[in-house]
Structure 1
Amino acid sequence: MSFFAELKRRNVFRVGIAYVLVAWIVLQGIDFLVDLIDAPAWVLQIFFAAAAIGLLSVLIFSWVFEMTPEGLKKERDIDRDRSIAPQTGRKLDRVIIAFLAIAVVVLLVERFSQPARIDEPVASARSTSPTADSAEAPTNAPPKKSLAVLPFVALSNGPDDEFFADGLTEEILNSLAQLPELRVTARTSAFAFKGQDLPVQEIGETLGVGHVVEGSVRRAGERLRVTAQLVQAEDGFHLWSKNYDRDYGDTIAIQEDIAEQIAAALDVVMDEGKRDSMRRVGLRDPAAFIAWQKGTLAAQIAHGTVDQIPGLLEANAHFEEVLEHAPDYAPAWVAHSDPYGHILNDSATGESSLDDVPESMVNTALQMAANDLAKAAEHATGLDERAGAELDLAILTGDFYDIRRRLEAYLASEGCDHAQWVDPVATVFGFAEQVIDRLGHVTACDPLWSTVVFSRARAALWNGQTERARDIIAMVREQSSHPWLDLIQVRSYIIDGQLESARAEIDQARSMDPFWRKQNALMLAAASGDRDNMTRLVELAYEDGSRSGFFDLQFHAMSGDREAANRVAARIDQDAYGPLPLILIINWCMCGAPFDLEATPNLAAEIAEGGLPWPPAEIINFPLKQW
């Protein structure tokens, strides 16, 4: 008799299958209890190891012994003619069937009783994000393994010490974000608390995290003293803390150790694969991450001004330094492309903001932006990041072939990365609901990223959900002074026909630039059908002698001057980059088609190539506009 046949005769296979089913069911119960009492992950691992060892023991036991009517005997002492192994096998078959049924029931209970995990998503700055609605409807209990890394405090006052502290913080954050077990709040939201002496409980509640990482950095010549601590947000209990007294050259080693120690304190089981993932991200070069912090700050300041290009070009000088040290850092390529996009928009719409920009830069802006986005796609570390860069590149260069499928695929993703040009294009051409969902994942990772919150709220307006738009911006208005959030509030009231509420919002908006205040007042006058007031407001907006095709076109459309609107639109369309600015104007106007498509043949060709709908939806009804 073969060895396989002998194993079968002695019921070794049946015993093994029965044992595996019983062990699996028992481990499910232990797993439930481990979660219930919040026990460390190693508890379940010990039970699993014991079960694996037990399987080997049971198999050996079933080979050596046999159950007989007289009790347990060694198999070698039993007469084959008197063996009851076949009867025992049939009993084991019934046992296997019974426990298999129990296992199926357990699986079904898990499958259909599992709640939508809005409160415990797995997220990171560059990994799968939480569900889209979690940022809009936070739960009382944050995920157990969630944290925010707050900017480390610079205790020395060297010229770059604060940027160094911020850079070290972001490197730690990026490393922790690679661990799928952790949900890590992204940089924009974590850094929103810089310089604020707030209780960790309040910070944890605002960001929806269970833990906060704090620290400080003191630099004296080539010596560093870094202090880091992991604090439980609910009660301020310190789970871990450590001081590092090292040389400046040990910066990366310090960062790696802090990230690993924090992960271990949160019961993340580390292996070489996870450590390798953590090492592959970020800049890993103090000079590079100092330059990145300088560029990020300059770009942030620039985006809060009306004339953004000078500040963005200043930021680019720092991003170029980053790329000298780290030419494969995709976020720096994306950031470096930003001012060229603004130059292209302003050039196509005839803005006066280009007066101080060299003509050679204006002429090569499209090539520069396209090159930057191509580099960003080439060096992207994740599929969503690469898809976003490639889609932005296609929109920027007017490659609308198969654009619907590409938009649908990107908007269905759940990453934390955010493309620059996708949102306005997708919103205009009927994807508003998908934009809301997609940006919900981004804001769940980075809840205080005000420009993304603005884009999501604007998509809600396009989707006819004014109350939802107000709810979205309400989450960040206390922490952010970005003027565009006030724009959403004003426009939501105009759409609802609450013109007095819109007027009161314009008067009391704390962060609205005078230029934007006039633009909102212009839209309110248009919604009231007050042509005389509209004309007066336009003259006030351009009292410094500057003109803007971007706002001229909206003014003509809202005031009902179809011929003038078509004339401005045709001029913009003739620019090599013209179609995208026209889409952006549609997105801002919310007035349906601000011009006739026949007046813009280049845009018409892109819309036809992409199979996109026309005309766009009319979100705000302006009485003077009759088409």
Structure 2
Amino acid sequence: MNYEKFLSSEVTTENDGAMALADGAVLVAGPFRLDMRERRLTRDGVAIPLSGKPLELLEFLMKGSQRLINKDEIFERVWEGRAISEAVLTTAIRQIRAALGDDARNPAIIETVHGKGYRFLIPATSAARGARLTSAAAPSHARRRAAPAIFAAVLLLAFLLAAVIFSRAGSRPASPPAKSIAVMPFADLSPEADAAWFTEGLTEEIVTSIARTPDLRIASRRAAETAARDGATPAALRDRLGVATVLEGAVRRTEGRVKVTAHLFRTSDGFQLWTQSYDRAENDVITIQEDIAVDIARALDTVLDPSKLAAMMKAGTASPAAYEAYLIGVAFSRRNLLGGDIEDARRSAAAFERAREIDPSFSNAHWRAALAWFNNETRMDSKVFGAEFSREERLTAYEHRVDAAIATASNEIDALKYRSSRASMRLQLKPAHDLMLQYLKARPRDIDAWEQLATLAAYAGDRRSVARAAERVHALSMESGWPWSRAVTISVMAMKPELAARRARAQLRVNPDNATLNYQAHRAFLWSGAIEDAKKALVYVRSSAMAEENKLLAEMRQACAEGRIADAARFRERIEPIGDVAARWQAAQLMGDQADANRILAQFDNEEGLPTLLQFMFHPTFDATAFPALMRRLEIEGVRPVRPARMPMACATVPAA
């Protein structure tokens, strides 16, 4: 195809062939128009989904159109000189070609010069902002930017309306707190009632996003669900949930269309502050967000903090299909946390995999998919990908997805978290720690990041920092209305058993029948000596859908704590043939068989296995001195491992080194 005929002006170049752009200009090359201020790419006026690093790379190539740009220059300018593999660059180029409709074997847009770099073949020029393409009139719907997703939209309206209401509260007594909101479960009104996963994931994403906003207090998710089932009145919601406003909504999917209705009302008198319905074709569902943003801006007649607004619109994809797959992943992840069923974890991982395959520039999907492959060797959900994949294959898959998350991250701050995780898997412990601290300085309310920092601090033997991270995970998750059981786990690993037990009791008051929480609470109670409390938690673990080896471990802990050594030994025998490495290692320690515990992990004491062995350093009972290769690596990293702690409920005490 001859793209020259689409040009409406002469190409202006500098001596090196790179384009000289006026401030605020857009790039035009043939039928393509790239506006980096709006981060929007169109072809003949029709929006093309492309974001993150691929979009930035396209801008750089267009600025140097018809000039060979070598790979080193690309890495320096687009990835700011970071150590990125060539596979990441190749993936980004492939995504650009897919978006533009180019053929790598017979390129008309981007040429590969093997061993050197790439050349953007179409002459590019700058155009004034707002100028129209002469080749085709852009349809009116193309004026919409690709937006994140429905959940951000509803969240946005809730926050903005609540903010105005709260600012007008003025001198009025604030009881409940003025800046407080409850998000009720969105209802599935679809004829076949088959969109439960969508509504569940939508509600979860709204709650999670609101929790990152420091000036809004959100009610407990479980309390909101219970109140919804009870049909509580506005006054009852005010008293039971302690909130001034409530957001509720419904989703209806039928005949290829999605309708989302949202309502915000005041609990003091039930007055409905705002209501709106949005009806879209399924393939146009994401544009609802922009329409809501415009409606709210007009209704409030106010100027918003752009950084706060941007923080709420961060789904990270312009693909409805990718977003739906992502929501399925979120929904099944939550179900796994509730019931401990490994099948839900597998369904969640598969959904995140689909999301990243549908939209290769979906950074969040890459990240969530990566965590299912590796980085959880000692956790309950470590069997998401079983024996069909070797450890090396899982680590490779993890690194590939983390690299993709870094390459497609919409900003450098988000990339810091991904880079930290990758560095830790490469045993670069200090850089990993420093990167995570940088990230948390910018994102202090990211619960997931505090959990990662706890792990990194444990690797460094810094139990004080582990305890600090546990406090933040607990406090932030309780504020969000959805307590994280990992706060209890981290508190135990920080050697704060009494504090772990108190946090477990606080979380169980919110989520008393959460299987994963009861499992972690059971261990915390035993570490603190609260055997009777542990018995109560064990009842929930027994009736749960979690993996059999986890149930047996809990039974074994209880038996040891009660002095039933013979029973504990029988539980260990049942764990041996079915348990993963972490389960068999813990069982050996519970029986006081430290030699066998070390033997189980000795297979990882080599260069290939160290990323796995390192993860066991999270446990205070782990003895790093038993593993020479690990000790040599820790010495290189300047890490002095702490003395292993004793397990108080063990059938025989684990000896300290």
Same fold (TM over 0.5): yes
Q: CA separation in 1, counterparts of 2:402 and 2:602?
A: 28
Larger radius of gyration, structure 1 or 2? Answer: 1
Q: Say which is worse superposed, 147-156 or 258-267, in terms of deviation.
A: 258-267
Q: Say which is worse superposed, 266-275 or 209-218, in terms of deviation.
A: 266-275
TM-score, normalised via structure 1 length: 0.62
Q: Does the alignment pair 1:232 with 2:266?
A: yes
* Cα displacement string for residues 300-349 of structure 1 (whole angstroms, at most 9, x for unaligned residues): 445567773x6545434432332244333322111111221179669xx9
Q: CA separation in 2, counterparts of 1:474 and 1:455?
A: 14
CA shift in 2, pair 1:571/1:496, >3 Å: same
CA shift in 2, pair 1:203/1:578, >3 Å: farther
Q: Aligned residue for 1:469?
A: 500
CA contact (8 A) 1:147 1:211 kept: yes
* Amino acid aligned to 1:336: A
Q: Aligned residue for 2:641?
A: 614
Equivalences for residues 312-351 of structure 1 within 5 A: 312-341=345-374
1:415 maps to which of 426, 445, 450: 445
* Amino acid aligned to 1:565: A
CA shift in 2, pair 1:386/1:616, >3 Å: farther
Structure 2 stretches lacking a partner, 5+ long: 1-154, 160-173
Q: Aligned residue for 1:518?
A: 552
CA contact (8 A) 1:145 1:266 kept: no
* Cα displacement string for residues 549-600 of structure 1 (whole angstroms, at most 9, x for unaligned residues): 323322333333333222222123347244544533x545x4x34x4x3431
CA contact (8 A) 1:298 1:312 kept: yes
- Secondary structure of the residue aligned to 1:231 is strand
CA shift in 2, pair 1:491/1:411, >3 Å: farther
Q: Does the alignment pair 1:457 with 2:484?
A: no
Q: Does the alignment pair 1:364 with 2:393?
A: yes
CA contact (8 A) 1:333 1:373 kept: yes
* Cα displacement string for residues 359-378 of structure 1 (whole angstroms, at most 9, x for unaligned residues): 6xx54211110121233234
Cα shift at 1:230: 0.5
Equivalences for residues 457-536 of structure 1 within 5 A: 457-477=488-508, 478-479=510-511, 481-507=513-539, 512=544, 513=546, 515-527=549-561, 531-536=565-570
Q: Percent identity?
A: 24
CA contact (8 A) 1:340 1:365 kept: yes
Cα shift at 1:626: 2.7
CA contact (8 A) 1:171 1:255 kept: no
Equivalences for residues 439-458 of structure 1 within 5 A: 439-440=473-474, 442-443=476-477, 446-448=480-482, 450=483, 453-458=484-489
Cα shift at 1:418: 1.1
Q: Aligned residue for 2:615?
A: 583
Cα shift at 1:407: 5.6
* Cα displacement string for residues 408-455 of structure 1 (whole angstroms, at most 9, x for unaligned residues): 55566613251474433434622222212432464156331x4xx222
Q: Say which is worse superposed, 204-213 or 181-190, in terms of deviation.
A: 181-190
CA contact (8 A) 1:173 1:186 kept: no
Q: CA separation in 2, counterparts of 1:437 and 1:266?
A: 37
* Cα displacement string for residues 91-117 of structure 1 (whole angstroms, at most 9, x for unaligned residues): xxxxxxxxxxxxxxxxxxxxxxxxxxx
CA shift in 2, pair 1:291/1:195, >3 Å: farther
Q: Does the alignment pair 1:567 with 2:599?
A: yes
2:470 maps to which of 436, 442, 447: 436
CA shift in 2, pair 1:537/1:613, >3 Å: same
Structure 1 stretches lacking a partner, 5+ long: 1-122, 128-139
Q: CA separation in 2, counterparts of 1:524 and 1:252?
A: 50
Cα shift at 1:165: 4.7
- Secondary structure of the residue aligned to 2:369 is helix
CA contact (8 A) 1:230 1:238 kept: yes
CA shift in 2, pair 1:603/1:196, >3 Å: farther
Q: Aligned residue for 1:550?
A: 582
* Cα displacement string for residues 214-241 of structure 1 (whole angstroms, at most 9, x for unaligned residues): 1223344355544221012444331112
* Amino acid aligned to 2:370: S
Q: Aligned residue for 2:457?
A: 426
RMSD of aligned alpha carbons: 4.5
* Cα displacement string for residues 45-70 of structure 1 (whole angstroms, at most 9, x for unaligned residues): xxxxxxxxxxxxxxxxxxxxxxxxxx
Q: CA separation in 1, counterparts of 2:384 and 2:316?
A: 38
Q: CA separation in 1, counterparts of 2:229 and 2:439?
A: 36
CA contact (8 A) 2:417 2:435 kept: no
CA shift in 2, pair 1:352/1:549, >3 Å: farther
- Secondary structure of the residue aligned to 2:275 is strand
Q: CA separation in 1, counterparts of 2:208 and 2:571?
A: 47
* Amino acid aligned to 2:556: L
1:217 maps to which of 227, 234, 251: 251
Q: CA separation in 2, counterparts of 1:299 and 1:253?
A: 26
Equivalences for residues 66-465 of structure 1 within 5 A: 141=175, 143-157=177-191, 161-165=195-199, 183=216, 196=229, 198-199=231-232, 209-222=243-256, 225-244=259-278, 251-259=285-293, 261=295, 269-270=303-304, 281-302=315-336, 308=342, 311-341=344-374, 354-355=386-387, 357-358=388-389, 363-381=392-410, 385-403=414-432, 405-406=434-435, 414-419=444-449, 421-427=452-458, 429=461, 430=463, 431-440=465-474, 442-443=476-477, 446-448=480-482, 450=483, 453-465=484-496
Q: Aligned residue for 2:630?
A: 603
* Cα displacement string for residues 469-504 of structure 1 (whole angstroms, at most 9, x for unaligned residues): 334334442436332322343333323334344345
Q: Aligned residue for 1:15?
A: none
Q: Say which is worse superposed, 416-425 or 328-337, in terms of deviation.
A: 416-425
Q: CA separation in 2, counterparts of 1:287 and 1:445?
A: 32
Q: CA separation in 2, counterparts of 1:191 and 1:329?
A: 31
Q: CA separation in 2, counterparts of 1:527 and 1:213?
A: 46
- Secondary structure of the residue aligned to 1:557 is helix
Q: CA separation in 2, counterparts of 1:577 and 1:208?
A: 50
Q: CA separation in 2, counterparts of 1:504 and 1:159?
A: 36
CA contact (8 A) 1:154 1:161 kept: yes
CA shift in 2, pair 1:239/1:282, >3 Å: farther
- Secondary structure of the residue aligned to 1:457 is helix
- Secondary structure of the residue aligned to 1:418 is helix
CA shift in 2, pair 1:603/1:526, >3 Å: farther
Q: CA separation in 2, counterparts of 1:344 and 1:459?
A: 15
